[in-house]
Amino acid sequence: MSFSNLTLLLTLTLLISTLTAPSSAATLNCTTTPSANSTCQSLIDFAPTNATTLNAVKTLFNITHLRTLLGANNLPLSTRPDEPVAANQKLRIPFSCRCFNGSGVSYRRPQYIVKARDGLDYIASLFSRLVTFQEIAQVNGIPDPDKIEVGQELWIPLPCSCDKVDGEEVVHYGHVVDPGSSVQGIAEEYGVTQETLLRINGMPDPNELKAGQVLDVPLKACASSVRNDSIDSPLLVPNNTYVFTAYNCVKCQCSSANNWTLQCAPSNLNSTLWTTCPSMQCQDSNQLYIGNTTASSTCNQTTCAYGGYNAKTILTNLVAQSNCSTPSIASKMGLHSWSWSFVFVSIHLALLCLHLL
């Protein structure tokens, strides 16, 4: 191969890697002061360089259960572990995040075990370069990136955040920007404002957006009845995702089509802790269980909502709702105006009849 052809090949390889991987590792602002062992749930895009399977992705990111990965991507629970994942196909990876020194990183996960002939830069490439080899070396206390040992466990510090946005709890999503995207288009797709995206990402100019950049996108979560003293509080489930909670006994899903209200029901799966799942019957009802709603011919109905869990009990709440729309002020004014018009016409007809007589 001639020198000119070799130069062209190297240039094309660099260009392709620039288009398919993050342009640089991201640092997401995270100023929330953590309490002891406190974390939040975050998401980040992952696009494997080579074709793989869902189970291999689950293993790479140390995700305990495949259903956790399925829920984050709104895939059917019946999806097989060997379901293929094409090269550069995006998947949302769920993980725990914690703030540290003004930025967020994944909380001690994922862990990668070094294999023969591995290098830190190669390991960074396995994770779609969501992190740099320098960051891997720093968090693992490696003074020389060229000196790692086979069998060594390395913490891969994925970027994330736990901060509230405009006073609301959100799920921070590390969105890898596609070529041709704009800040305004991303904002509209995920239901936030362009100003919010620019502010939390420290971008003064929307034209600074680059393909492959990890952009912090705050996802709105469905409103829930989970109590503050529940082990899974706050239970933040964003649109078009589902999660399993209460030691696998309860499945909760979020959809904007349900007025942004969390929908929970028994999972019908085996518990990861209890021999059998505790009762999910609402205490003040002889008929309703979590997910049940009273059938009523009136405007009012009652739902047995999931309220959280503790070491022994699944908590419930009876939530009263109204499913009837009330007449608007305009419609009331219209009806009132029509009534007076009818009276006015009636008076004129009566006077006309008297005149004819």
pLDDT computed for residue 86 by the predictor: 98
Predicted TM-score of the model (pTM): 0.82
Q: Are residues 296 and 154 in the same domain?
A: no
Q: Are residues 202 and 287 in the same domain?
A: no
pLDDT computed for residue 332 by the predictor: 38
Please report whether residue 63 resides in a domain.
yes
Q: Are residues 73 and 127 in the same domain?
A: yes
Q: In the chain, which stretches have pLDDT less than 50?
A: 1-24, 326-357
Q: Are residues 59 and 207 in the same domain?
A: yes
Q: Are residues 149 and 182 in the same domain?
A: yes
pLDDT computed for residue 336 by the predictor: 41
pLDDT computed for residue 274 by the predictor: 96
pLDDT computed for residue 38 by the predictor: 80
Q: Are residues 129 and 198 in the same domain?
A: yes
Q: Are residues 49 and 110 in the same domain?
A: yes
Q: Are residues 210 and 262 in the same domain?
A: no
Please report whether residue 105 resides in a domain.
yes
Please report whether residue 318 resides in a domain.
yes
Please report whether residue 352 resides in a domain.
no
Please report whether residue 173 resides in a domain.
yes
Q: Are residues 102 and 144 in the same domain?
A: yes
Instruction: Pull the structure tokens for residue 202.
Output: 């420290």
Of 133, 126, 154, the residue nearest 47 (C-alpha):
126
Write down which residue in 219, 250, 284 finishes a domain. 219
Please report whether residue 350 resides in a domain.
no
Q: Are residues 58 and 164 in the same domain?
A: yes
Cα–Cα distance, 204 to 169 (Å, whole number):
24
Q: Are residues 168 and 206 in the same domain?
A: yes
Please report whether residue 263 resides in a domain.
yes
pLDDT computed for residue 3 by the predictor: 39
Domain of residue 197, residue span: 16-219
pLDDT computed for residue 257 by the predictor: 93
Please report whether residue 172 resides in a domain.
yes
Hey, which bits of the chain come out as E strands? 40-46, 52-53, 84-85, 91-100, 103-106, 111-113, 153-155, 159-160, 171-176, 214-219, 241-245, 250-254, 263-266, 300-309, 314-322
Q: What is the DSSP letter of 337?
A: H
In the chain, the number of structural domains is: 2
pLDDT computed for residue 325 by the predictor: 56
Q: Are residues 200 and 251 in the same domain?
A: no
